[in-house]
Structure 1
Amino acid sequence: MKLQLNGIQKSYGSKQVLKDCTFTFEKGKIYGLLGRNGAGKTTLFNCLTDEVTPDGGSALILDEGGGRPLAPEQVGYVFSTPVLPDFLTGYEFLRFYMDVNRDKVSPDRTIDDYFDLVNIDKEDRHRLIKGYSHGMKNKVQMLLFIVARPPVILLDEPLTSFDVVVALEIKQLLRELRQDHVIIFSTHILQLATDLCDEIAVLSDGRLRQVDSQTLKSGDFEAEIIGMLKDEEHHD
């Protein structure tokens, strides 16, 4: 399976944020989406989830049956700021989500099995989400795509709110999940990209460019990325 982006464009007024985003992402790899602040990383994610309507271009899922437009239900999106119902406990919310997605839930896993995957303590499962830390809320967000198993997973700055131990747990979880998904996460932290990613896509001047994977673990990686981004015209 592949996710193919073809010439995605998006403008806000006179500012063209995405000019020609063309790229092919493959299942089984973790892709880092690098770009300066304001480069359009979140805008691109929003276009892929139908949060905003692109001005042009297309996103296709390619598999053995051919190509078809990417549908919102095929995308799991972990926001940088968690969006969850604070008036429910973690257990209540996950039970509700599993009921809604009962046709996708693995029959071999219980609610507690899912919580165990992300190491949320049993007593915390029955607390109101309102009292969760930012990191715990992000863990719950990640549980949603583990339950629904969408082919495409987008993560917007996913690890910046976690302490060292939790970040290591989430990294390992993503490595285990990548075989069945296209995983793309945006970050501006080069060390995180080199540590976790199989491939890097750089968003600069409204276009996506691929970094040679051979340089990902080399000493030339940082210099190459800086060279690709230093002329970025649209950044905060």
Structure 2
Amino acid sequence: MFNNKICLVTGAAQGIGKAITLRLAEQGAEKIYALDMNHEMLSSAYADHANIEPVTVNICDRGAVRDLVESIAEQDGRIDVLVNNAGVTRDALIDKMTEQEWDFVIDVNLKGVFNLTQLIAPMMMENNYGSIVTMSSVVGTDGNIGQSNYAATKGGVIAMTKGWAKEFARKGANVRANCVAPGFIETPMTVDLPEKVLDGIKQKTPLGRMGTTEDITNGVEFLASDKASFITGQVLKIDGGLVL
């Protein structure tokens, strides 16, 4: 499905990002650049995968991101698939949220997505091909208590994605941009939640369970692939019916 494709995935050391990276490899991607700040975890995750190149980088560092994209352009001449997956949380009620908690989440979840997309999209348009999938959240569409910073970023990437869908294709380039909006998923970010909280989430979810990384990966794989060649500017909720 991804034969001869050059892909880049952020937040790739664990959880959803790792699952996406491995799925792209399984589906025949020529090369996958797996980005994360956790060098040790990143290197360990892909030690046995010849077509996955781990890259330790801070996506908020525009200079480092620019150097990386320029290097890929020189080596491979293109990036066919970009998955903006990296994300963080620093939850607090608005009257308790610090400026540092606000800035950190905005920088990673919003500025980081902007940095990668701004540098990669022109290459895609020049090559007349590209698929960009950005991780949003149901919190970005419907809000959540104690997550003003996170909601702002996840709503922001949806708005940017809709604009990009129009902007990137306005001169006829075959470049698409879409979002995936997960609900509550079993990842390292949710593993420490109390059992009582997890049970409450499951009870609120019509399908009666937490989502899995495979559930999210299936959606990303579809939107990134040519099977979704006539889909752009959309938000695919994968939440078990949590938000209807």
TM-score, normalising length: structure 1: 0.35
Q: Which has the higher helix share?
A: 2
The normalised TM-score by structure 2 is 0.34
Larger RCO of the pair (alpha carbons < 8 Å, separation 6+): 1
Look at both structures and tell me which one has the larger radius of gyration over its CA atoms. 1
Would you tell me which structure has more strand in proportion to its own residues?
Answer: 1
